[in-house]
Chains A and B, each alone.
Chain A
Amino acid sequence: MARITAGVGSSHVPLLGVAVDQGKTRDDYFGPIFAGYDWTKQWEEAQKPDVVILVYNDHASAFDANIIPTFAIGCGESYKSADEGWGPRPVPDVEGHADLAWHIAQSLILDEFDMTIINEMDVDHGLTVPLSMMFGTPDKWPCKVVPLAVNVVTYPVPSGNRCWALGEAIARAVDSFPEDLNVQIWGTGGMSHQLQGPRAGLLNREWDNKFLDLLEAEGDAARHIPHIEYLRETGSEGIEMVMWLIMRGALGRKVKRLHRHYHIPCSNTAIGHIVLEPAQ
């Protein structure tokens, strides 16, 4: 039987991808950021997940302004790195797990989550940067990936509560997949940042760390944080953190924190990273 064995939260700032692609990950600027992922790289080598359900948002790459799916699941065989305006990142193609993805998609729809299904798409930094942070620069990614794209750009975006409930439903769906699979779920994006307007550059170390504390804690208080609080406290793009709640919701009421890292800044953004496992 398939099982969700761990959850990972991580920022997915595009500049991190640039640092990896240009071999700058140990310089003065990026060194302290990447050092916080060394533990996780070793841990992932030992864990050897078969599949990662990777919750991220598309940044106007696969989806233009025409179609705006709230929750979309990639059910394809493979995905290429998107050209975001400066050529595609030189990373391996991302291999999907179509059997598991279609199983999750069907189960979620029966569970009243009306998913959009994607057969073909390119994946942008939102998905490839977390892979680089956790796995480095292999010739081939060491696991298959089920992309789960969330609209966190056009308001209203899904509520924290809905994201958490989706995570719970994903866990039920994975549990009912007959093949033995070690599955991780990653929630990406954030933490505090604002990329627009005169308030651009807002960061909030205190709030971000309270959010990380809530994720580690027993129970589900984080699901009830309203959108306006993310907007006021963490900048207009801090709302990406609702995607971490899908990951957290999939892990159950109680978790054990294995690793945590926080660094300011990376470009316009606060970097946060956490590794959790279910504790029931």
Chain B
Amino acid sequence: MSAATQNIHEYLAEFEDIPGTRVYTAARARKGYWINQFAMSLMKADNRERFKADEKAYMDEWKLSDEAKEALLARDYNRLLDLGGNVYFLSKLFSTDGLSFAEAVSTMTDMTFPEYREMMNKGGRSPQGNRSIKGGY
């Protein structure tokens, strides 16, 4: 059977050591609950139409903070991750905007979409130097 049960505090602390990554922990899930539920609602065609017709009015129907509404209007996905958004939920917004997953993801990096696409075609971002903030490996 498994080794001794992992301590939850140690388990979560390690996640903060990964460069450029917000692991979707329970704390983020709690914080971003309504951002994610709002995004989920865009799976329905009627809701997509209503949102597109008046983004602000549609968002007012949800328990979203002003900060969250601002980040959603700006499609600032890194900010949304900080506010507890999760990429699989936010992807309903990518689709509503007619953006491919790769293009939407590229907006979270320091690259343009063509640059990002070229990096992927050349084998992706190397893990070298991207594994640990403290360790630098």
Contacts and interface: CB of A to CB of B under 8 A. Distances in A.
Interface of A: 14-15, 59-61, 64-66, 68, 82-87, 153-156, 159, 161-162, 165, 192, 194-205, 207, 224, 227-228, 231-233, 236-237, 264-265, 267-268, 270
A220 B95 CA distance: 40
A126 to B, nearest CB: 10
Contacts of A198: 19-20, 78, 108-110
A59 B91 CA distance: 9
A265 B19 CA distance: 22
Contacts of B25: 154-155
Nearest 4 interchain pairs by C-beta: A203-B124, A85-B95, A199-B20, A198-B20
Nearest to A223: B2
Contact of A196 (B22, B39, B95): B22
A203 B37 contact: no
B73 interface: no
Interface of B: 1-3, 8, 11-12, 14-15, 18-26, 29, 32-33, 36-37, 39-40, 42-45, 48, 77-78, 81, 86-89, 91-92, 94-96, 100-102, 105-106, 108-110, 116, 119-121, 123-127, 130-132
Contacts of B36: 60, 64-65
B105 A196 contact: yes
Contact of B105 (A162, A165, A200): A200
10 contacts: A15-B102, A153-B86, A155-B12, A155-B15, A196-B108, A197-B78, A199-B130, A202-B127, A228-B15, A231-B21
B120 A268 contact: yes
Contacts of A66: 37
Contact of B125 (A61, A201, A233): A201
Given A153-B88, A192-B124, A196-B21, 12 more contacts: A64-B37, A65-B86, A85-B42, A85-B94, A85-B95, A155-B23, A194-B21, A197-B108, A199-B19, A199-B130, A236-B18, A265-B121
A109 B33 CA distance: 30
Given A85-B48, A154-B24, A154-B29, A203 B125 contact: yes
A65 B37 contact: yes
Contacts of B12: 155
Contacts of A231: 15, 18, 21, 23
Nearest to A232: B131
B11 A197 contact: no
A95 B42 CA distance: 27
Nearest to A83: B43
B81 A197 contact: yes
Contact of A267 (B18, B86, B100, B131): B100
B48 A201 contact: no
Contacts of B19: 198-199
Contacts of B15: 155, 228, 231
B18 A65 contact: no
B66 to A, nearest CB: 20
Nearest to A231: B18
B124 A264 contact: yes
Contacts of A196: 21-22, 77, 81, 87, 105, 108
A87 B42 CA distance: 11
A267 B89 CA distance: 18
Most A Cβ at <10 Å: residue of B21, B86, B110, B123: B21
Contacts of A59: 88, 91
B124 A161 contact: no
